[in-house]
Structure formats: C-alpha cells, structure tokens
Chains A and B, each alone.
Chain A
C-alpha cells in the first residue's frame, strides 16, 4: 500500500488539516480498535517507538501502535493557528521538523506569499518534505490544502505546489483549494484567487475546488434546527460552524482515498482517480459531491438510485456548479 503526505498551508489549510487528522484517527479507531499498526493507517501516519524515536514499519504479524506521527508538513506565516494546533489534542502527531513558521503573515497578498516568503522558505519546505518522503515506503501522492483568497494559503500554497511539481514530478499532487465566497471580507481575494489559479491549473494533477458558500449551505442542512447559522455574530458559534465545514472537507479527502486504503471487491487506487477523470492535462478540475447528507440525529433511508441522483445535484456538491451547463 502507498503513503500520502498532507501539506497544509495558511490559516484555512491548517484548520482543515487539523480536522483531517482528528477524523483520520476516528476513522481508524472505528475500523480497528485493537491498536494495531496496519497498512491502512500507515498511509497517513507513521508509527514511532516511544523510547528510541525509531520509525517502525508495518510488519506481519502486525505490531502495536506506540506513537503515531502524521505524515504532514504544516506551513504558516502567522503564529496563531499553528500554535493552537500544537496545543490541541492532535498536537502530539507533529514534530518540530514538520512545522514551517514565521510571525508577520503575508498580509492577504499573493505576491508576498509566493515570491517573498516563497523564496525565503523554499529550502526549508523542500527539506521538510524530503524528510517525510524518506520515511515513506512508497510515496504516491501529496494533498495540498489551502485557501485561495488570502496571502499565505494562496501564495505559499501555490509556491509549494510548484516546488513539488519540480522536485517530485512522479508523485500525484491533489490540491484542495478553498475558494472565497461572495461575501468574503478580504478585499484582495479575487486577485489572489486568480493568480493562484494559474499555478494550480499548471501544477496540480487533480484539483478539488471547495466553495465556502456551498459548504456552509451543506452544513446548515446537516445541523439540527436549534443551532444558529453563520450570520449569528457569537464567536463560539462561528468557530463551531467553521469546524463543521472543515471537518466535512476532511471527510471528503478520506472518502476519496478509502478505496485505496481498505480492501474491497474493486479497489480504486489514487492513481486511478487521475487516470479516469483527467482526459487532458489542463482539464484537471474535479467537482466533489457527497450523498447522502444526513444529520446523524435524523437518519433517513435513502434508496441507492436517490443517492446517485443526489450526488450530481448542486446542493450536494462542495463547489456549486451546474454540471449540465458545464460552467463554473
């Protein structure tokens, strides 16, 4: 089985990333609660011997999990998000070599992120990636998570993407860019998004665009009627709402890779996604849709046919596109 490295850049990227790691741990715990280090966990995590800090590989008979480390590189030019991530429950998954930080931020400017910080931190980024790649038995893909509207996410995110394209041309690059919504409060977001998009089209193998609006609408449908929507200005509620949205994106990434990580009648590997869905190198934008969308508190029985027609409708997509008109 193969491994993937998650590269999370900027505030949005790291927030989605943190939800990803929470969900990944939950998924594996549900699948196997005996604490055994299997091939499927190994695709996103390393197993480290607590005493010697030595990397343990998957063995037969299977060995126990001692300490898990995420296969990830975390990049942010501001301190706030990464610091709270390290202090959180999943903080133990990361070592200092996996973090690339600065203090001042990129000021919502793509050029600052791409050219200024991008140049300054190129070596360090490549170094961290190399260290993670060396710890992989068979590295197959990178997942790059970032927003398009800001400075770090869009600028450094795309700079990292082009570095990966240059130095690891054989490894698949999945990009999950979060596009700004109509009421986005960053005034330069259209410029940042456009500049970043040129890079993504060029260097991403598969792009799974996510729109905040679409996500918000989905989460609203999933939440119980009592909870307020994002318009409520209480900070706690807003944070919870973003967590839910980020968690949803994280689940999508896990679902796409589930067939490669777990056994089944037809195993669809990650490289097959690119082969089947990208007929021309520049036609690399894929629209992710999810069905059924059910609040866990109110599950309904959905027929398989209904699930299939739902998954193609705009209300179930992470990016509101009318597939029949073929216009983004």
Chain B
C-alpha cells in the first residue's frame, strides 16, 4: 500500500488536519463489514493514514504537528479520538510566541531557529513510513506560522525525502479580510510553494462558508458558520480524493489501487500549472438525506457544471454554458467554459455505471488543446454513508482567477510601502516581494491563457 502523511502547520493547519484524520477514521470504521473487498478497503485506508500503536487496537496518525503557539497542538495531542487514535507527541514541534501573522517571521525566523527540531520530528515519523509516497501539508495562507513556516517546512521535507510528492492543502482567507496583511502573506506563500511544492490544493473560506450554510438547515446568509463546520467540509473533499479507489470494479476486486502519487502525477503534468480545486456531489444535510434520491446521472451532470463554472456549490448553476459539442446552435456563452489541464473523478458507492459518468467528463472541449486528460477512480465503499458520491479534483483555468484581485490589492499596498517594515525586520526585502509579484503574475497569465480567446 502507499503511505501518506499529513503535516499540520499553524492553527488552521492543525484544526483542519485533526478534522481530516477524524473523517478518514470515521470512513474506515463505518465501512468495516465482513466481506473481502470491504475489509481490504478498511485495511488500505488505515495503512495510508495511520500506523498501528504499540498496544494493539490503537492507531497513531501519520502526522507531524507544528505550531509556534501552543494552545492548538496541545489540544490535539491531549485527545484520544474515537477512543482509538492519537497523535505521536514525538512528532510535534511547539513554541510560545506565535508568528504574529508575519510570513517573514514564520519563514525566515522560525524557519531557521526551529529547523533542527522540525527535521528531527519529520525523521521520527519517516522511520515508521518506509513506503511514503505523498506528503500533504495543511496550512493557511493568511496567517504567519501556517503560511511562512509552512513554506519553509515544504522545502525542508523536499530536502529530506526528495522522492516524495508534496501536496499543499492551502486555506485562503475570506476576501473581505481576516488579517490586514493577508494579501502579502498569500502572495509570499503561493510564490514560495510554486517553486518548492508539487501541487497546491486551494480552499477558499468564502466558498466553504456558503457551502456549509447549505448543510445546516435553517441558517440564513447572516448566520455565523463555525470553522469547525468548514473544516469538516474541506476534509470531506480532501478525504474523498485520497481514500482508496481503483480504476475499475474488476481492479478493485483484484485489490489493485490507484496510488496517491499516480493521482498527483496525473493532475500536475506540467510545472506551470499546479493549482487544484476539489469538488463533491451530493451536498445534502443529514436531515435531508432521507428525502433525497440521487442518481449517477444527476451527480455527473451537476458536478461537471460546477467544474465548468468553477463553483463548489450546486446552486446558481447556469446550464446554458455547455461544451460546444453539446450545443444545438453556436453561442457566445461557450467562452465562459472552464478548461482543464487534467481532471480526476472518483465515484464511491453502489452500482456505479462508471462509463456513464466518465463520458460526461471526456468531452474534448473541457480540456486544454482539446486533449482529454481524465483519470477515473471507483470504490464500492460508501463515503459518509452516502449511497452515491462523486468527487472531482481538477487543475483548471479558473483556479487562477482569484489571483487577479490578489495582485491588484497587494500591489497598491506595496506601492504605499504599508507594513513592509514588519517583514524587513526579519530579513525580507522589497526585492523578495517584487520577485513574488512576478511569479504570481506569470501563474495568473498562464492560467488565463488556457481559456479560449474572445
């Protein structure tokens, strides 16, 4: 089996990481049933994310926990989840001061002073993971530790195990603003990761908040959604992609799985395009499940439309935007079609007519230069007890859309020299910022050029 590990950095990274391991464990135990394929699924899930503990019956999460402020990690380490799994305290690195929302403090200062300790923690973990293929780093882009130190740790892991693929799950802040310097921190993070990581899986707080509202009955647009709710959703999306799947029913019966590194290599064939988005259907609250009947046709239809519009919500979809081959007449609207570098879809649940779903995503218009690049995964095991669920993870043109506003807002601040002295204190100069602007501008342009010209 292929092993993977999580590296949780900063408050967001640690809270999200905990939610992810909880989700994975929940899936492992809810699918535990007699029957060879079900037990193979559970064994593989456990093997990917956990290591057996010293006393039988307990599991240790494959994870390194890092934070420069101690409350969150201390909380994670203190809990015995579901009475079964825990984190390994030897794989944790704490400090007291926090990074003060300062990317330079995280990257330059703590990156240097904590390097040794973090190396040791990583090596302790690697000792129990001889078959490690993929490392998933969970972090936010707006803060100081997750963003700055997270970038440094990405480089560090690359140095320690150059053969392992690095995927960064990056949480992007509310566009209204959570932190005054979030623009700078996002810019520095994305620019750094583009040079050191293999793939960036982006989650926007705005989208996940709206999505969470759908799932909680009775909430209006004015109600507050907790981060806990949002983390649960993000981890569903991530887990749905990383949990075991095979390329066909027959393959699953034979126990042949799609490995995590295959997924990453498929999604990122070209170094210029590394931004990924994860989407899932159906999106229904626990409450509504008994009243909703899903079909694979519907799941395929809606999730493809979500991809076309770059949405993670199945509401507000404009059905008139379709691939040219499916239009009866030529329509200017096709210019708004999303174009993918590559896509990975996973169907989980009963009676999948895989070709039916696959065909929907095999349309040439949806891909760069009309070269279809689609990987399909399948598993008979259900996700979150949903009879049928469909996950899409794509490397598509619209993933780079948000960079435009990010660049213009940050450039204004940069020209006014606002807050720059805070970064200069830790050794970052204006040249570094300018370089980051250049890197991100290129990424933005590359993604925009994927779309057909008007």
Q: Are B227 and A276 touching (Cβ within 8 A)?
A: no
Contacts of A138 in B (CB 8 A): 96-97
Kindly identify, within residues 168 to 188 of chain B, every residue whose CB is under 8 Å from any CB belonging to chain A.
Answer: 178-181
Q: Does B421 contact A (CB under 8 A)?
A: yes
Main secondary structure of the interface of A (DSSP, over half): loop
Cα A269 to Cα B178 in complex, Å, equals 14
- Spot the interface stretch: B70-78, B290-298, B310-318, B361-369: B70-78
Q: Are A275 and B227 touching (Cβ within 8 A)?
A: no
Count the B residues whose beta carbon is within 8 Å of the partner chain — how many?
A: 27
Contacts of B99 in A (CB 8 A): 271
Contacts of B418 in A (CB 8 A): 279-280
Cα A263 to Cα B179 in complex, Å, equals 19
Proximity bits, B69-92, A CB within 8 Å = 1, else 0:
111100100000000000000000
Q: Does A137 contact B (CB under 8 A)?
A: yes
Main secondary structure of the interface of B (DSSP, over half): loop
Q: Does A2 contact B (CB under 8 A)?
A: yes
Q: Are A1 and B70 touching (Cβ within 8 A)?
A: yes
Contacts A1-B70, A2-B97; A265 near B228 (Cβ below 8 A): yes
Q: Are A263 and B71 touching (Cβ within 8 A)?
A: yes
Contacts of B419 in A (CB 8 A): 275, 279
Cα A58 to Cα B97 in complex, Å, equals 16
Q: Are B101 and A272 touching (Cβ within 8 A)?
A: yes
Proximity bits, A278-290, B CB within 8 Å = 1, else 0:
1111000000000
Proximity bits, B60-73, A CB within 8 Å = 1, else 0:
00000000011110
Contacts A272-B101, A275-B181, A276-B101; A267 near B11 (Cβ below 8 A): yes
Kindly identify, within residues 187 to 232 of chain A, every residue whose CB is under 8 Å from any CB belonging to chain B.
Answer: none
Q: Are A265 and B227 touching (Cβ within 8 A)?
A: yes
Q: Are A263 and B75 touching (Cβ within 8 A)?
A: yes
- Report A10 CB to chain B, min CB distance, Å: 30
Contacts of A267 in B (CB 8 A): 11, 69, 71-72, 98
Q: Are B102 and A275 touching (Cβ within 8 A)?
A: yes
Q: Does A140 contact B (CB under 8 A)?
A: yes
- Report B388 CB to chain A, min CB distance, Å: 33
Proximity bits, A1-43, B CB within 8 Å = 1, else 0:
1100000000000000000000000000000000000010000
Q: Does B226 contact A (CB under 8 A)?
A: yes
List the A residue with the shortest CB-CB distance to B102: A275
Contacts of A140 in B (CB 8 A): 97
Q: Does B288 contact A (CB under 8 A)?
A: no
Cα A79 to Cα B71 in complex, Å, equals 42
Q: Are A137 and B75 touching (Cβ within 8 A)?
A: no
Q: Are B100 and A275 touching (Cβ within 8 A)?
A: yes
Kindly identify, within residues 193 to 231 of chain B, every residue whose CB is under 8 Å from any CB belonging to chain A.
Answer: 226-228
Kindly identify, within residues 318 to 350 of chain B, every residue whose CB is under 8 Å from any CB belonging to chain A.
Answer: none
Q: Are A272 and B97 touching (Cβ within 8 A)?
A: no
Cα A278 to Cα B425 in complex, Å, equals 14
Most chain A CB within a 10 A radius of its CB, from B100, B102, B179: B100
Q: Are A1 and B179 touching (Cβ within 8 A)?
A: no
Kindly identify, within residues 250 to 292 of chain A, every residue whose CB is under 8 Å from any CB belonging to chain B.
Answer: 260, 263, 265-267, 269, 271-272, 274-281
Cα A276 to Cα B70 in complex, Å, equals 21
Interface residues in chain B, defined as those with a beta carbon under 8 Å from any beta carbon in chain A: 11, 15, 69-72, 75, 96-102, 144, 178-181, 226-228, 417-419, 421-422
Instruction: Name 16 A/B residue pairs within 8 A (Cβ), A-sorted.
Output: A1-B96, A39-B71, A137-B96, A260-B98, A265-B227, A266-B178, A267-B69, A267-B98, A274-B100, A275-B144, A275-B181, A275-B419, A277-B180, A280-B418, A280-B421, A281-B421
Counting from the closest, the 7 A-B pairs by CB-CB distance are A271-B100, A269-B98, A276-B180, A138-B96, A279-B418, A272-B101, A265-B227
